Structure 1
Amino acid sequence: MVKKVVSLVVFVPLAIVLIVLSVANRQAVTLALNPFKPDDALLSLTAPFFVFLFLALILGLLLGSAATWLAQGKYRKKARTESRQAVRWQAEADRHKSRAEQLAGSGLPQIPAK
């Protein structure tokens, strides 16, 4: 419930700001990828300005996500190895428990617990 409220408080104003930017920046602009000859039609793209704003936002999100994912790789690897160890220890504990139950059922003398 709190997560929904927080997301509404964050995303609704963000959506409003993006819509206002889109409406305010409808004029066509040219993005020239050739700095030596900006009027080269092959390496330029003409679109409304908000398209470039959205593309920059999406590119930033993707690059940030990729950087975070790469930076957290060592923690994911550690979690995988510790998970495997936990499964091995649990299996060993289960084997010891079943062996102890077998010994208890066979009538052999028990070692008293302290």
Structure 2
Amino acid sequence: MSAMKEYALGVCYAHPKEMYDLYDLLCGWEIAERAVEMEIVERFGGDTYPSKDMFEIMQGIADILENIPDEEALVMLKMVSLITDKPDLMEEELSFWRGRCAA
């Protein structure tokens, strides 16, 4: 496993509740991928003009990651963004992080 992947997984494992909350918020939304992309731009630079639904999801993401350092939040968002277009994998990750959060 590459050092970057190990680092990314370590960041995610350090924040199981927030990872669960992200998957819980994003599962089932067709616009999840775009919402994560826009949140990355919003938090780390750039202009965005989201729809009402998109704004609500982005606000949810911002609330979930409020107390996470920016560098770690970016890693977490990028990990989620890898599968936001795959609903079955999103559901699997939600279940996984639910278990990690309860542990």
Calculate the TM-score normalised by the size of structure 2. 0.25
* Structure index of larger Rg: 1
- Higher relative contact order, structure no. (Cα contacts within 8 Å, ≥ 6 residues apart): 2
Structure with the largest fraction of strand? 1
Structure with the largest fraction of helix? 2
Calculate the TM-score normalised by the size of structure 1. 0.23
